[in-house]
């Protein structure tokens, strides 16, 4: 009842008084609507056509979706790879980010800032992952091959980036290396914002070890950051694509590192089948929203 | 006896016997190698000729013969004629020759000076080939060069400016004058001109034109007198008044003449002290930079002195290209070297500009009169001897490297003993001799440059390595890859050491009383220049350029997807020739046209035309392009081979005009081939035979498979196409609805492709340049642009490699089918041009651009600006002839160009490369059978094609 009343009160705020808030929120709201909501709606609409960037020739109804699920062999590979990437790099980077932030929190200030910068820098530097091309170069004098051959572990150079046995693993490693981004920073910040008095109280109440402290005191306080970090890492895991494309080519040998995002780029940029690409994008969107809902459910516990 | 003991005994016996087996094979090897060396010696290079006769007497003075006294001639329109006042022998077309008789007074070395007049042809340097008594004295005698003389067209003492205010590159014009020159080595290996050794008595001298056309009025055999010393020179002017008031300055970019069209004015925008300089605008204010590097290239200026007298010559100069090295120039006045000290003037390396006074602290005075012409010629100076040594050591080291890999293979097992010292005769002595030789060269280089810099230390490293190898040859297999790297490093040194870059800002003639000009302007001037430069960078648009002014309605908007240097050349071509000829303005923008083009045209912001577009037909299928044949392509149509149009034909129309075209050629090492007694394979049958011989010697054969830029689609697709097309099969069926790959011919082609890797074990990924250079891969099929990189990056191999047409398949009538695919870029007209009613103007522009005249100019400027590495690959067959290929090179390129059968424009054909690559890889790895892999791939390609046909309503 109380809540209901609150709403009532808010609705009664005259427009004149609301105006400043509307003005303040509008720059973001407008750009969010124009650059996020509208494109999503447009993609949903276009996914029912055969739009080819120049013209819409036919309204094809559900044909694009039917083709995706029944005819497109590569889509299944892309879906599989995307799921593996999301399920491996998402949680791994989430946990690693948290653990690293936790460990960093214990360090003295100077070292902490320095290490934070180092760990964050791959995400900060954008396309820096190209350096892995040299490390995993297929030439017998690529960095990794040279050392492995020197140590006598292998006798012939391994084609790290084009051999389908290895290249997906390489992509996963690089993706994890790249993934200490915004989520990681929010953890670092979150640890700083913890209420120290609660730790004291918990210690008085009889905490046995640091794990208990982490679980009963830290986690509940870090709820928003945890959710944010989880969403960020899953979202970025679903959107992995440029790393694979740069390292293993698009399309990669036998589509071995093909992801949904690359599948979309492939249809949009080299085949100009925008309708089909939109349908793929809608599927990816649905997938991400579903996963987000799941995460929300899991982390609800800490989200007061 | 237990099993274990028996085994041990057998092992022991084997180990005892093994060295004998090995040494027995070493003996046969020994005989073979010596034989090979003998064969190499018959290939008489100037190096060995120089070694044989270099110390012979060089008589001063000249024995002269008139050009008109020909004793024999062939393919000459009119043997003798009066040219510009002189009776001369006319060599008017390629392969025409004239012969003269000369009576030599005494045995000795003779240089050949020629008085010549360069006749109208395609404007390249003249190449002659020389025969003495019916025999070429050395291999270099086939390509002897005579330069043409050029000048820049300048109005009122300054360059013209465009509508923004930037300087425009001046037009170059050939000077039609009689010239006198001799043959020199442009690599800088020999500081003196090429000589021929002639005995006393009569000799027949024959000159054949290998390129261009020339008239010859006089041949002089002999050697120039040594110039007098400075002391002798200056004593002649004792009574000339030295104190003559003010200095006079000439801007170095405003030249009088130059003997190569590759030198042109350059700019230095960053230094306020470089004159003239205007912040925010481009002023061509220097000359040389990286273009004036080749030995023999000269620039001359008119000395702008007020009155005759003695002057010091000071230059504001910079050599910031070759780290740690000196550049050398020889100064002459009116074509004469005034005194000995004016030879080999040294310009040291410096990042900053400096004032170079000839003579430095004890300046030399030159007697100059108003209007005197002073010339600076690029010479190799003291570097020629070390350069010769490095080249020779490199060839020796490469030879021994190849001998080593015939024993160890390129990928040795480091845990195995190869008994190299018994396998390769005298390996220790040879290695140790080489080490000493390299060491002495390193000493020489560091003495000349004054530092033990990077060049000398690379040589030191090589020398140490060779010494260690000589001490214990068993360490070689382990360090083989480092050895190869060291060889590569030294190879790339030659081009660095041989080039002599120099940039000049101005030249000052300073009389005795006047002060030497200072190198820099004041601090505040510098600051204010820097600030205005920075501020103007906000206003300037570096990515677009508009030619001409006036009627904006008729401005054609063109997007170009290329580098900034290339765009600048295109922009100059447009303003110099297109806008002035046709009165149509062009707005040129630098845009990466990948997928931007289609998006921009969708939003209505697209250009009227785009040039250098990679895959334009995807736009054509979607109706974004204008069909071009209705604008009348007759005048340019025949400048291209019929096959060249194939990729741009669609639905009975032509949707793009071809610009560049590249295809594969076969590269091979002539030295390795002659050593093994092989000749270049003509057909695939020959190719397999050659491959067997090479593989027996542990050498590699290269056919590219993995595409380094995009690992998804294999480069090897072109190999499949070669097999397919040469079996007279087409890509598609007659209706273009299905691929023909699952026919018997298609299957055979696919089988052969897979077999190359599965049965013959070719490497799937390799670095062509380094492997070709060391000779471990003496045969490879590569895109013909590899020629450019090889000539630029591996100068030490000059004359040791060549390219030939790709292997073909013999037809029933005995001719060879060398069909293969080719890659293109094209230029297109977008629908926007029609909408804005500029389609006729746009078509005129496109036709102008792909026409031979423009393409040739572009190709020439491109090579002039960026060197041979940027040699253009035109689709225009006439242009191909005008590029600096030799006659024989052009012949085979032209043959291959005519034989090209590119893939037709069929919607969905992009899937072919992808799908076949997958099929190929699974067949090579044995994941699926060859037939199965091909069938699956053909089905998916055909599905895609029919899907696209439905999308574009083609059925």
Position B655 scores a pLDDT of: 94
**What is the reported pLDDT for B905?**
92
Instruction: Assess contact for B806 and B895: CB atoms under 8 A.
Output: no
Q: What percent of chain B has pLDDT over 90?
A: 35
- Is the pLDDT at B218 greater than 80, yes or no? yes
Spatial CA neighbour of B340 closest among B349, B350, B330: B330
For A162, which of B618, B706, B767 is closest by C-beta distance? B706
pLDDT for B46-65, tens place per residue?
Answer: 888 888 888 888 889 899 99
Whether residues A269 and B595 touch (CB distance < 8 A) is answered with: yes
Question: What pLDDT score was predicted for residue A253?
Answer: 78
Taking contacts as CB-CB distances below 8 angstroms, the residues of chain B near A251 are: 712-713, 914
Distance of CA B73 to CAs B83, B101, B131, B203, B214, Å? 18, 12, 13, 16, 14
Q: Residue B90: which H helix or E strand, with range?
A: strand B86-91
Average pLDDT over residues B103-111: 92
Contacts of B598 in chain A (CB under 8 A): 53-54, 272
Average pLDDT over residues A72-97: 89
User: How high is the pLDDT of residue B593?
Assistant: 72
Q: Is the CB of B411 inside 8 Å of chain A's CB atoms?
A: yes
Task: Kindly determine whether residue B710 and residue A141, on different chains, have CB atoms separated by under 8 Å.
Answer: no
Exposed, middle or buried, B908 (CB in 10 Å: 0-12/13-18/19+)?
buried
| Triad B297, B300, B306: Cα angle to 5° | 165
Q: Which two tokens stand for residue B139?
A: 């291999």
Residue B25's pLDDT is what?
A: 39
B922: contact with A, CB 8 A cutoff: yes
Give residue B753's pLDDT. Answer: 94
Per CB-CB distance under 8 Å, the chain B contacts of A53 are: 598-599, 602, 622
Surface of B (764-793) touching A: CB under 8 A: 764-765, 767
- pLDDT computed for residue A9 by the predictor: 52
| Chain segment B895-916, per-residue pLDDT in tens | 999 999 999 999 988 889 888 9
Partner-chain residue, chosen from B598, B706, B707, that has the shortest CB–CB distance to A54: B598
Q: Which residues of B120-141 are buried (b: 16+ CB within 10 A; e: fewer)?
A: ebeebbbbbbbbbeeeebbbbb
CA B723 to chain centre: 30
- The tens digit of pLDDT for each residue in B299-310 reads 999 998 888 888
Residues in chain A: 304
Give B915's contacts in chain A (Cβ within 8 Å): none
Burial B212-238 (b: 16+ CB within 10 A, else e): bbbbbbbbbbbbbeebeebeebbeeee
Q: Which chain A positions have a beta carbon within 8 Å of B602's beta carbon? A: 53-54
pLDDT tens digit sequence for B382-424: 888 888 888 888 888 888 888 888 888 877 887 888 888 888 8
Average pLDDT over residues B867-878: 87
B953 near A CB under 8 A = yes
Whether residue B793 is predicted with pLDDT greater than 90 in this model: the reply is no
User: Residue B16: its pLDDT value, please?
Assistant: 45
- Work out the average pLDDT over B288-312: 89
* pLDDT on residue B14: 46
CA–CA separation, A263 vs B435, rounded Å?
Answer: 57
The minimum CA-CA distance between A124 and chain B, rounded to whole Å, is 25
Which residue among B481, B595, B710 sits closest to A249, beta carbon to beta carbon?
Answer: B710
**Is A251–B712 a contact, with Cβ atoms under 8 angstroms apart?**
yes
CA-to-CA distance for B569 and B907, rounded, in angstroms? 34
Structure tokens at B935: 């069938």
CB contact at 8 A, B553 and B608? no
For B610, list phi and psi in degrees, rounded to 5: -135, 140
Taking the C-alpha atoms of residue B908 and residue B921, their distance in angstroms, rounded to an integer, is 21
pLDDT at B664: 94
**DSSP-assigned states of every residue in B625-688:** B---GGG--HHHHTTS-HHHHGGGEETTEE--EEEEEE-EEEEEEHHHHHHTT-----BHHHHH
How far off is chain A from B799, nearest CA to CA, in Å?
29
Please give, rounded to a whole number of angstroms, the shortest distance from the CA of A177 to a CA of chain B.
23
Dihedral (CA of B922, B927, B931, B935) sign: negative
Mean per-residue pLDDT, B644-648: 93
Per-residue pLDDT tens for A105-149?
888 888 988 988 888 888 887 778 888 888 888 776 778 888 888
* CA–CA gap between residue B636 and residue B641 (Å, rounded): 11
| A/B interface, count of CB pairs below 8 Å | 67
How far B813 CA sits from the closest chain A CA (Å)?
42
Residue A11, pLDDT above cutoff 80: no
Residue of B nearest to A155 (CA): B413
B910–A141 C-beta distance less than 8 A:
no
User: Computed from CA positions of residues B49, B53, B59, B65, in that sequence, does the dihedral angle turn out positive or negative?
Assistant: negative
The DSSP-derived string for B864-922 is: HHH-GGG---BS-HHHHHHSS--HHHHHHHHHHHHTB-PPP--TTTHHHHHHHHHHHHH
pLDDT at A8: 53
pLDDT greater than 70 at residue B239: yes
C-alpha dihedral sign at B487, B489, B494, B495: positive
Region A210-226: mean pLDDT is 85
B601 at A interface, C-beta within 8 A: yes
pLDDT of residue B420: 87
Taking the C-alpha atoms of residue B903 and residue B901, their distance in angstroms, rounded to an integer, is 7
CB atoms within 10 A of CB B953: 8
> Contact B110/B198 with Cβ under 8 angstroms?
yes
pLDDT value at residue B186:
82
Q: Do the Cβ atoms of B713 and A271 come within 8 Å?
A: no
Residues in A closer than 8 angstroms to B919, CB to CB, are none
Q: Which of B478, B614, B939, B951 to mutate to test the interface with A (most CBs of A within 10 A)?
A: B951
Contact B841, B848 (CB under 8 A): no
Tell me the sheet residues that pair with B779: B668, B701
| Residues B767, A139: C-beta atoms closer than 8 Å | yes
Percent share of chain A, pLDDT over 70: 94
pLDDT of residue B39: 37
CA dist B859 and B865 (Å) reads 10
Q: State the average pLDDT over residues A245-273.
A: 85
Nearest Cβ partner for B765 among A53, A138, A249: A138
B493 at the A interface (CB within 8 A)?
A: no
CB-nearest partner of A253 from B485, B623, B711: B711
* Per-residue pLDDT at B22: 39
| Per-residue pLDDT, B15 | 46
Contact by Cβ (8 Å): B246, B514:
yes
The pTM assigned to this predicted structure is: 0.76
Question: Does B710 contact A253 at a Cβ distance shorter than 8 Å?
Answer: no
Complex prediction ipTM: 0.73
Rounded CA-CA distance B329/B344 in Å is 5
Cβ contacts of A253 on chain B, cutoff 8 Å: 711-712, 917-918, 921
Judge: A254–B910 Cβ closer than 8 Å, yes or no.
Answer: no
Cα separations in angstroms, B891 against B668, B769, B853, B898: 17, 24, 20, 11
Contact B711 A272 (CB under 8 A): no
Tokens of B683: 């057909």
pLDDT over 90 (residue B628): yes
Give the mutation candidate from A253, A274, A277 for the B interface (greatest B CB count, under 10 A).
Answer: A253
Q: Is A155 exposed, middle or buried (0-12, 13-18, 19+ CB in 10 A)?
A: exposed
B410: which 2 tokens?
């390129």
Nearest-CA distance from A164 to chain B in Å?
A: 10
Partners of B180 in the β-ladder: B115
CA distance B200 to B723: 59
Q: How confident is the model at residue B332 (pLDDT cuts 50, 70, 90)?
A: very high
Q: Are B717 and B913 in contact (CB under 8 A)?
A: yes
Q: Which of B606, B702, B711, B715 to mutate against chain A (most A CBs within 10 Å)?
A: B711
Q: What is the pLDDT of residues B182-213, one digit of tens each?
A: 999 888 888 889 999 999 999 999 999 887 88
Task: Report the percentage of chain B scoring pLDDT > 70.
Answer: 93
């Amino acid at each position: 009842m109380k809540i209901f009343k609150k709403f009532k009160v808010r609705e009664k705020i005259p427009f004149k008084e609301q105006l400043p808030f509307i003005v303040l929120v509008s720059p973001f709201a407008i750009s969010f609507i124009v650059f996020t909501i509208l494109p999503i709606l447009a993609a949903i609409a276009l996914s029912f056509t055969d739009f080819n960037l120049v013209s819409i020739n036919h309204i094809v109804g559900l044909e694009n979706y039917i083709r995706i699920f029944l005819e497109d062999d590569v889509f299944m590979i892309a879906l599989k790879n995307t799921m593996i990437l999301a399920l491996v790099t998402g949680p791994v980077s989430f946990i690693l980010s948290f653990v690293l932030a936790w460990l960093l929190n214990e360090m003295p200030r100077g070292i902490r800032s320095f290490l934070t910068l180092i760990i964050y820098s791959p995400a900060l530097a954008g396309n820096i992952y190209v350096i892995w091309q040299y490390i995993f170069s297929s030439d017998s004098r690529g960095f990794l091959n040279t050392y492995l051959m020197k140590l006598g572990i292998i006798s012939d150079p391994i084609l790290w980036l084009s051999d389908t046995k290895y290249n997906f693993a390489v992509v996963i490693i690089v993706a994890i290396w790249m993934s200490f981004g915004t989520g990681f920073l929010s953890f670092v910040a979150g640890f700083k914002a913890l209420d120290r008095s609660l730790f004291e109280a918990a210690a008085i109440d009889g905490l046995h070890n640091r794990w208990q402290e982490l679980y009963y005191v830290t986690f509940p306080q870090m709820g928003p950051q945890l959710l944010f970090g989880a969403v960020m890492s899953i979202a970025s895991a679903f959107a992995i694509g440029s790393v694979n494309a740069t390292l293993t080519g698009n399309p990669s040998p036998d589509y071995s590192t093909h992801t949904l995002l690359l599948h979309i780029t492939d249809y949009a940029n080299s085949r100009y089948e925008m309708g089909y690409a939109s349908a793929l994008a809608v599927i990816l969107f649905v997938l991400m929203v579903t996963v987000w809902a799941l995460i929300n459910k899991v982390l609800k516990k800490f989200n007061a | 006896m237990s099993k274990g003991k028996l085994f041990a005994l057998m092992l022991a016996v084997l180990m005892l016997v093994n060295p004998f087996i090995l040494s027995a094979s070493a003996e046969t090897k020994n005989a073979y190698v010596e034989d090979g060396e003998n064969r190499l010696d018959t290939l008489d290079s100037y190096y060995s000729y120089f070694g044989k006769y270099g110390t012979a007497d060089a008589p001063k003075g000249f024995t002269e013969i008139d050009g008109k006294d020909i004793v024999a001639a062939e393919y000459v329109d009119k043997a003798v004629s009066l040219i510009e006042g002189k009776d001369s022998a006319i060599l008017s077309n390629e392969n025409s020759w004239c012969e003269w008789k000369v009576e030599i007074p005494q045995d000795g070395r003779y240089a050949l000076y020629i008085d010549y007049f360069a006749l109208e042809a395609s404007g390249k340097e003249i190449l002659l080939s020389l025969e003495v008594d019916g025999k070429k004295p050395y291999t270099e005698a086939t390509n002897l060069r005579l330069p043409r003389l050029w000048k820049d067209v300048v109005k009122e003492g300054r360059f013209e400016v465009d509508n923004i205010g930037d300087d425009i590159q001046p037009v170059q014009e050939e000077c039609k004058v009689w010239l006198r020159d001799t043959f020199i080595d442009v690599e800088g290996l020999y500081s003196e001109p090429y000589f021929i050794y002639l005995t006393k008595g009569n000799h027949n001298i024959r000159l054949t034109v290998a390129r261009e056309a020339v008239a010859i009025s006089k041949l002089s055999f002999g050697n120039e007198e040594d110039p007098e010393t400075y002391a002798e020179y200056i004593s002649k002017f004792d009574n000339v008044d030295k104190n003559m008031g003010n200095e006079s300055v000439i801007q170095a970019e405003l030249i009088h003449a130059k003997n190569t069209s590759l030198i042109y004015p350059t700019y230095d925008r960053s230094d306020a002290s470089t004159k003239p300089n205007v912040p925010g605008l481009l002023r061509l204010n220097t000359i040389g930079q990286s273009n004036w590097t080749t030995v023999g290239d000269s620039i001359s200026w008119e000395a702008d002195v007020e009155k005759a007298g003695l002057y010091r010559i000071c230059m504001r100069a910079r050599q910031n290209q070759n780290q740690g090295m000196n550049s050398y120039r020889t100064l002459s006045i009116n074509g004469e070297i005034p005194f000995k000290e004016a030879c080999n003037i040294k310009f040291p390396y410096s990042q900053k500009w400096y004032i170079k006074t000839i003579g430095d602290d004890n300046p030399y005075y030159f007697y100059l009169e108003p209007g005197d012409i002073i010339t600076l010629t690029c010479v190799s100076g003291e570097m020629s001897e070390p350069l010769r040594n490095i080249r020779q050591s490199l060839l020796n080291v490469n030879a021994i490297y190849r001998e080593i890999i015939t024993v160890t293979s390129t990928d040795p097992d480091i845990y195995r003993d190869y008994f190299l010292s018994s396998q390769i005769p005298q390996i220790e002595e040879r290695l140790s001799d080489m080490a000493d030789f390299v060491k002495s060269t390193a000493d020489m280089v560091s003495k000349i440059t004054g530092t033990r810099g990077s060049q000398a230390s690379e040589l030191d490293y090589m020398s140490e390595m060779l010494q260690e190898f000589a001490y214990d040859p068993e360490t070689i297999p382990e360090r083989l890859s480092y050895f190869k790297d060291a060889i590569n490093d030294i190879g790339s040194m030659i081009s660095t050491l041989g080039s002599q870059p120099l940039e000049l800002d101005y030249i000052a003639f300073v009389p005795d009383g006047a002060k030497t000009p200072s190198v820099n302007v004041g601090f505040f001037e510098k600051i204010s220049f820097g600030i205005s430069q920075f501020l103007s960078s906000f206003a300037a648009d570096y990515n677009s350029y508009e030619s001409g002014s006036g009627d904006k309605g008729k401005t054609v908007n063109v997007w170009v997807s290329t580098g900034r240097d290339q765009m600048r050349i295109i922009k100059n071509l447009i303003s110099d020739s297109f806008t002035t000829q046709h009165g149509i303005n062009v707005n040129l923008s630098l845009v990466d046209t990948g997928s931007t083009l289609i998006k921009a045209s969708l939003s209505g912001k697209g250009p009227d035309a785009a040039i250098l577009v990679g895959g334009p037909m995807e736009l054509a299928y979607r109706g974004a392009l204008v069909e071009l044949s209705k604008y009348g392509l007759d005048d340019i149509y025949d400048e291209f081979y019929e096959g060249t149009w194939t990729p741009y034909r669609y639905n009975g129309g032509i949707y793009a005009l071809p610009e560049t075209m590249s295809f594969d050629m076969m590269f091979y090492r002539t030295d390795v081939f002659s050593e093994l007694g092989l000749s270049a394979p003509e057909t695939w049958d020959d190719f397999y035979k050659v491959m067997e011989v090479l593989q027996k010697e542990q050498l590699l054969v290269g056919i590219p498979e993995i595409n380094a830029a995009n690992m998804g689609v294999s480069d090897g697709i072109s190999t499949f196409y070669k097999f397919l097309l040469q079996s007279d099969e087409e890509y598609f069926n007659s209706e273009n609805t299905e691929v023909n790959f699952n026919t018997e011919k298609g299957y055979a082609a696919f089988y052969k492709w897979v077999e190359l890797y599965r049965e013959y074990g070719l490497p799937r990924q390799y670095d062509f340049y380094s492997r070709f250079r060391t000779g471990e891969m003496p045969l490879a099929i590569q895109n013909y642009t590899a020629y450019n990189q090889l000539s630029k990056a591996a100068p030490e191999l000059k004359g040791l490699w060549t390219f030939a047409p790709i292997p073909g398949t013999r037809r029933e009538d005995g001719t060879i089918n060398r069909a293969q695919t080719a890659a293109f870029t094209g230029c297109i007209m977008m629908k926007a041009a029609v909408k804005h009613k500029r389609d006729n103007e746009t078509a005129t522009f496109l036709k102008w651009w792909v026409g031979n005249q423009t393409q040739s100019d572009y190709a020439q400027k491109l090579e002039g600006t960026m060197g041979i590495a940027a040699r253009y690959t035109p689709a225009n067959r006439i242009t191909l002839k005008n590029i600096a290929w030799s006659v024989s090179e052009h012949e085979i390129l032209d043959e291959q160009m005519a034989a090209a059968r590119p893939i037709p424009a069929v919607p969905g054909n992009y899937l072919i490369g992808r799908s076949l690559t997958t099929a190929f890889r699974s067949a090579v790895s044995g994941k699926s059978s060859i037939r199965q892999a091909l069938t699956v791939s053909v089905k998916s390609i055909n599905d895609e094609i029919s899907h696209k046909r439905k999308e574009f309503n083609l059925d």
